[in-house]
């Protein structure tokens, strides 16, 4: 049995110790944000944080993850309020979306250790592969997230931290639920 902490919750995995962490997260914990791409540690689609560092969950075994604190995209921010998530939304970044959870996790780890990364620092830290070629927008979003995290920019369309979905809908009219009664009257 492997014990670790996933998104703040203690978890015991009754899986073989050589099982990749990615399978435990996806199959046992139903945390399917981290994706399976190459399975060889090269594409970054499976990136999660292990003790705060961006790591490829497809090449870490449960035995190696024993006792660590793992964060997945599902645990990164409440209500998608992490600066990287807000900048991603503001830049309308994803295309097919497959690589994006790993990109977000890699970007969030970068900003934890480098407050205002240069383009060169972004390029060397974010080695994840995007088959849709969103790289220019990824660089722009990381620079924007850094400005937000440092207090230099606020994205008005994004709900601030700890705002409920209903309150967010009041603050952002485009998010309001469609009134089905009015629709049926049309
Ligand atoms: S699936 Fe893990 S790096 Fe590609
Ligand atoms: S958005 Fe499609 S793979 Fe990156």
Is 49 in the same domain as 117?
no
pLDDT by residue for the chain (186 residues), tens digit each? 889 999 999 999 999 999 999 999 999 999 999 999 999 999 999 999 999 999 999 999 999 999 999 999 999 987 778 999 999 999 999 999 999 999 999 999 999 999 999 999 999 999 999 999 999 999 999 999 999 998 888 876 555 555 565 665 565 544 444 444 443 443
Residue among 131, 136, 139, 141 whose CB has most ligand 2 atoms within 8 A, to mutate: 131
Handedness of CA 149, 97, 22, 41 (dihedral sign): negative
Tally of domains in the chain: 2
CA-based nearest residue to 53, from 70, 37, 29, 41: 70
Q: Does residue 181 lie within any of the structural domains?
A: no
* Residues 61 and 87 placed together within one structural domain of the fold: no
Claim to verify: residue 29 and residue 46 sit in the same structural domain:
yes
CATH code for position 33: 3.10.20.30
Residue 56 resides in a domain: yes
Last residue of a domain, one of 16, 42, 76: 76
The ligand minimizing its distance to the Cα of 138 is 2
User: Is residue 183 in a domain?
Assistant: no
Domain boundary residue among 42, 76, 110?
A: 76
- The CATH number of the domain holding residue 140 is 1.10.150.120
Ligand 1, CB cutoff 6 Å, lining residues:
36-39, 41-46, 56, 58
CA distance 141 to 38: 25
User: What is the structure's pLDDT at 181?
Assistant: 45
| Residue 182 maps to a domain | no
Q: Which domain holds residue 54?
A: 2-76
Closest Cα to atom 2 of ligand 2: 96
Supply the pLDDT for residue 163.
59
pLDDT for position 107: 98
Q: Are residues 21 and 59 in the same domain?
A: yes
CA of 17 to the centre of ligand 2 (A): 31
Residue 151 is predicted with a pLDDT of: 87
Q: How far is the CA of 53 from the centre of ligand 1 (A)?
A: 15
Q: Do 12 and 89 share a domain, yes or no? A: no
Is residue 54 domain-shared with residue 92, that is, in the same domain? Answer: no
**The predicted structure's pLDDT at residue 127:** 96
Domain endpoint, select from 20, 41, 76: 76
Dihedral angle computed from the Cα positions of residues 17, 19, 25 and 27, in that order, rounded to the nearest 10 degrees: -120
Structure confidence at residue 180 (pLDDT): 40
Same domain, 71 and 89: no
Q: What confidence score (pLDDT) does residue 80 get?
A: 76
In a domain? residue 185? no
Ligand 2 atom closest to Cα of residue 130: 4
Please provide the size of the chain in residues: 186
Domain match, 64 and 35 both: yes
R_g of the chain computed on alpha carbons: 18
Pairing relationship of beta strands 2-6 and 53-56 according to DSSP bridges: unpaired
pTM of the model: 0.84
165 shares a domain with 93? yes
Q: Do residues 110 and 161 share a domain? A: yes
């Amino acid at each position: 049995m492997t014990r670790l902490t996933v998104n703040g919750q203690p978890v015991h995995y009754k899986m073989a110790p050589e099982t990749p962490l990615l399978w435990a997260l996806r199959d046992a914990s139903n945390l399917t944000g981290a994706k399976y791409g190459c399975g060889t540690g090269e594409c970054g689609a499976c990136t999660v944080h292990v003790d705060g560092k961006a790591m490829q969950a497809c090449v870490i075994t449960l035995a190696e993850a024993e006792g660590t604190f793992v964060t997945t995209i599902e645990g990164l921010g409440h209500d998608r309020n992490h600066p990287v998530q807000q900048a991603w939304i503001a830049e309308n970044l994803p295309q097919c979306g497959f690589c994006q959870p790993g990109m977000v996790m890699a970007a969030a780890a970068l900003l934890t250790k480098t407050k205002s990364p240069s383009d060169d620092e972004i390029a060397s830290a974010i080695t994840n592969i995007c088959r849709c070629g969103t790289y220019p927008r990824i660089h722009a979003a990381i620079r924007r997230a850094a400005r937000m995290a440092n207090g230099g920019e606020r994205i008005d369309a994004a709900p601030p931290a700890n705002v409920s979905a209903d309150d967010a809908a009041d603050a952002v009219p485009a998010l309001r639920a469609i009134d089905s009664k009015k629709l049926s009257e049309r």
